[in-house]
Amino acid sequence: MEKEREHEFHRSLGPWSTSAIIAGSMIGTGIFLFVYEVALHLPNRTAILAAWIVGALIASCGALSLAELAAAYPQTGGVYVFLRRAYGPFVSFLYSWAKVLIMRAGTLGIMAVAFSTWCFDFLNLDPEALPWAAKGVAIVVVLAITAINIVGLRSGSTVQNVLTAVKILCLVGIIIVGAAFVGGLLESHPVTIKPAEHYKGHFILLFGAALIAIMWTFGGWDESPFVAEEVRNPERNLPLSILGGLWTVALLFLLVNAAYLAILSPSEMAGSAGVAAPVAVERAVGSGARKILSIALMISAFGAANGYALTGGRIAYATGREQALFRWFARTDSRTKTPARSLVVQGALTIAAILIFEDPFTLLLYTGLAYWVFAGLTAAAVMVLRLRDPQRERPFRVWGYPVIPILFVAASLGMAVSVIFSSTRNALITVGILVAGAAAYSIQTIAFGKRP
């Protein structure tokens, strides 16, 4: 069966293209939008940078665990495949249920709306004054990335490679501006920003709350396994893409935050309300820099949305191979060899989210609990599968086993608890979504028996 599946996709992704999926997905909107949330919770530069280092270490534990699974089971579908092998069809079905119907549509919606917001900023327009026009721009973005990825993987990956390179250059540019400002090569320009007071409370609780924003910003390091059957030499290139992509971006994120803090005080960062990057660049370079950065941010959002669309279309496809309710998705276009059906439905769900929700960013709160539960289960799958499938060849083995997977499971549990306490209502909605998925699985079992 696996031999037959190898011919359903073209193995056209090399190590750079595969790493670009990771880097392009990670460098999205978080590093520009959510740095103020971290500063609101943490009072000084040392604590802020320490939180980003801790976030990188947590993500590294998850990435090392994922790298072993990806090298051992290089099949399209990524996390779905690992959960299916470790825990059976019910858990993997629930994962796809939440991922396809909610999480991926929400993430794509956020990226598209972010593009629209920065487009309006570039045009000196207020998106709140023209809400339907702003939604229209976001919908056009979704339609464009869906079309790009239906045309073919080479088209989608080429766009991803170019946009990832541009986004990395943008981050490097901010780092250079920060270094030049510290070195006295740039003069300070007046900017309008009202410093904000930091939240009060126990430091450990505030640190944990700051990590919620940081870990969302680091999200994306698990994307390349979703296109495993389109990767050349996946046993080698998937671990390289996961670890190389994450660590490259983690270093950039740390240096970018250092640049922000070199130009702005922690209180100013806390009061930036999502525009820390434009404000910092404007102070160091001048008012004209805001226009340039708005273009850079649009590129960043579009590139991240393209990466998530490329991999997201493969999730429903992989599920359809083994789950009867998703069977319609388990087809590739005869000409382009892309999962066109799942890409179209993914785009439609994203557009619906943009139209229905006034603020699509709230979708992340609805699904945050599910994300961390499944992330923890994925890391635990390394240990489960070593016991259940000991004869499987593992070209890459997680370093420090079993400590590293256990650390990530513990971190995931902590993040899940943080989400519950931070937004109990949204956590309950997530539970409701999973209960509905369990009911759907029961219906599938009754209708189709134990057949996949």
Give the pLDDT confidence score for residue 159 in this predicted structure.
65
Specify the higher pLDDT residue, 102 or 84. Answer: 84
Helices 203-218 and 403-422 pack at an angle, to 10 degrees, of: 110
Give the pLDDT confidence score for residue 2 in this predicted structure.
44
Cα dihedral 380→384→390→395 (10° resolution) = -20
Instruction: Write the DSSP symbol of residue 200.
Output: P
Could you read off the pLDDT of 143-187 as tens digits, one per residue?
998 888 888 655 555 666 677 777 788 889 999 999 999 998 988
The tokens for 418 are 């943080």
The tokens for 43 are 């009072």
Give the pLDDT confidence score for residue 53 in this predicted structure.
96
Q: If pLDDT is split at 50, 70 and 90, which confidence band does 52 have?
A: very high
For residue 1, pLDDT over 70 is answered with no
The tokens for 64 are 């090392």
Give the pLDDT confidence score for residue 212 in this predicted structure.
84
Could you read off the pLDDT of 6-44 as tens digits, one per residue?
445 566 566 667 777 777 778 877 888 788 889 998 989
| Class of the CATH domain delimited by 2-448 | mainly alpha
Burial of 403 (0-12, 13-18, 19+ CB in 10 A): exposed
Average pLDDT along the chain? 83
- Ordered by start, the domain boundaries in the chain are 2-448
Give the pLDDT confidence score for residue 336 in this predicted structure.
66
Could you read off the pLDDT of 224-261 as tens digits, one per residue?
676 666 777 777 778 888 888 888 889 999 999 999 99
> DSSP string covering 386-429, please?
HHH-TTS--SS--TTTTHHHHHHHHHHHHHHHHHHHH-HHHHHH
Contacts by 325-331, CB closer than 8 A, 24 or more apart: 325/440, 325/443, 325/444, 326/96, 326/100
The tokens for 296 are 């850079």
pTM: 0.81
Give the pLDDT confidence score for residue 113 in this predicted structure.
86
For residue 376, pLDDT over 90 is answered with yes
Of 305-319, 377-391, 434-448, where does the model show the most confidence? 377-391
